[in-house]
Amino acid sequence: MATGVIVPQVEHFRNVWREAMLKRLGKQLRDTCPKRSNDRVKPSPAQLKRVASVRALAAGGDARAIREAANVSLREAARALKISPATLSRWETGTASPRVGRQALRWAAFLDDLKRIDR
């Protein structure tokens, strides 16, 4: 009988922890990305390399694997990145790729953070 009570509590704790981590990641992403009213940013060479690496991860299917290994759903990731789940799905499958800009840099930072959390 006690087991039935503990399991929902553990699941609740996991959900609360996941939401807190996603909220923290979202704040970090907002703090690290350029503050511009539009998505057009003149990227630095380092930012171009970062976007190219995230596009390579997506093309190989590794971006989705990283997200799933961290137990983050598509919807949760899209909410943290402030994009639609359909857009993120297209990026992860390689159907589309993000333009160089705030969203692409956010996605790269998000994947980097998920890699660190997963370790």
Query: How do residues 79-91 score in pLDDT, each as one tens digit?
Result: 999 999 999 999 9
Domain chopping of the chain, boundaries? 2-33+43-118
- The pLDDT tens digits for 100-115 are 788 888 898 999 888 8
pLDDT at 30 over 70: no
Half-sphere exposure of 67 (CA within 13 A, CB side): 26
The residue with greater pLDDT, 22 or 6, is: 22
Q: Is the pTM of this model over 0.85?
A: no
